Amino acid sequence: MSNSIYKVLVPTDFTDVAKTAINHAAMVAKSFDGEVHLLHVVSSDKALSAAKDKLDAWCQEAYADYGVTTKYVVKKGSIFEDIGQVAEEIGAMLIIMGTHGVKGLQHITGSHALKVINNSKVPFVIVQRKTAKGLYKQIVLPIRFAQETKQKLSITTSIAKHFGSTVHIFASNESDEFLRTKVNRELTFAKHYLDERKIPYVVEVAPSTTNYLQQVISYSKEVDADIIAIVNSKEGGILPDLFKGGGEQEVIGNKEEIPVIIMNPTQEFVPESFG
C-alpha cells in the first residue's frame, strides 16, 4: 500500500447523503492534495454498466464542484464486505460514509458493519446532510472513565495538527468517587499529551451526571464543532455499546448532523509520509 497520494474512500448509494460524504471527502483530500475514490456495490452483472456511467458522471461533477481528482470502483457483492478490501487495495487513509440520521443507522449498524468498523485499518467518518463548512477546526473529544492511551489520542492529535484545530475535551461528570477519580486521571493524561504536542485545547466537564451522550451533542452544538471524535475501545469506550441499542446511536446519528469520526487505537489519520 502506497501513501504517496492521500486517498479518501466514499461508499456511495447515489443518495443525497452520499453527495454530502463526497463534499467532506473533497475537503479532506484537497487539504492533502489527494484524491477521492467512490465505491458502489451492485448485486448483479447487469447493473455494472449503468453504475459505471453514473459514477463517471458523479466523478466529473465532483471535480467541477471541488477541483479534486475523483475516481471510482464498482464491485459486485456486499458493500460491507467490500469496503475494507477496496480501502486496502487503493491505500485509502480515511473512509467517509453518509447516513440518514438515527433511522439511517440501521444500514450501518448491522453485524457486518460492526465488523468492518472494528477491523478497519483506517478511521471512519459518518456524515449526514450537513456539508463541511470548512476544515475540521473544532474537534470535540468525549472522555469518560475508560483508559485513554497514547494510541487513542494520536489520531485526534494528527487531525488537529493537520487542520490547525482546537480540541474540545468534554469529560463526563461522575457521581461515583472511584469513577470520578478515573476521569480526572484520564483528563490529566490527555492534557499532558496535548500540551507536549502544542495542540490547543479546552476542557469542559459535563454539567450533569446523567445523559452524558446527549450532553456531548449539546456541547458540540454550543462550540460549533466540525467533528466529534469517538474512540472505539474494548476497554469501555463509547462504541462497544453502540450496537446494543444504547444512546450512542444518538451521537453518530445526532440531530445536529455533526460528523463523527470513529477511531480504532492502531489507526492513523495523517501518515508519516505526509508529515
| pLDDT digit string, tens, across residues 101-133 | 545 444 554 555 566 776 778 898 989 989 998
Q: How far apart are the first and last CA of the chain?
A: 17
| Mean residue pLDDT across the chain | 85
Residue type, 50: A
The CA distance from 242 to 217, in Å, is 16
* Across 71-75, 151-155, 216-220, 268-272, least confident range: 268-272
pLDDT on residue 78: 83
pLDDT tier for residue 135 given thresholds of 50, 70 and 90: very high
What are φ and ψ of residue 92, in 5° steps?
-65, 145
Q: Which amino acid is at 250?
A: E
Q: Secondary structure of 11-66 in the HEC alphabet?
A: ECCCCHHHHHHHHHHHHHHHHCCCEEEEEEEECCHHHHHHHHHHHHHHHHHHHHHH
Homologous superfamily of domain range 7-127: HUPs (3.40.50.620)
Q: Which position has the higher pLDDT, 243 or 156?
A: 156
The whole-number pLDDT of residue 34 equals 96
CATH level 3 topology of 138-274: Rossmann fold (3.40.50)
Q: Which amino acid is at 85?
A: Q
pLDDT for residue 150: 72
Q: What is the pTM of this model?
A: 0.89
Q: Which three cell numbers stand for residue 272?
A: 508519516
In this prediction, what percent of the chain has a pLDDT beyond 90?
59
Q: What is the pLDDT of residue 151?
A: 67
**Predicted local distance difference test score (pLDDT) of residue 145:** 76
Cα dihedral 208, 213, 216, 218 sign: negative
DSSP β-ladder status, 138-143 and 124-127: unpaired
Inform me whether the pLDDT recorded for 216 exceeds 90.
yes
pLDDT computed for residue 274 by the predictor: 60
Q: What is the pLDDT of residue 148?
A: 58
Whether 1 has a pLDDT exceeding 60, the answer reads: no
Instruction: Decide which of 263 and 160 is more confident.
Output: 160
Spell out the domain ranges in the chain. Answer: 7-127, 138-274
Residue of 45 and 248 predicted with greater confidence: 45
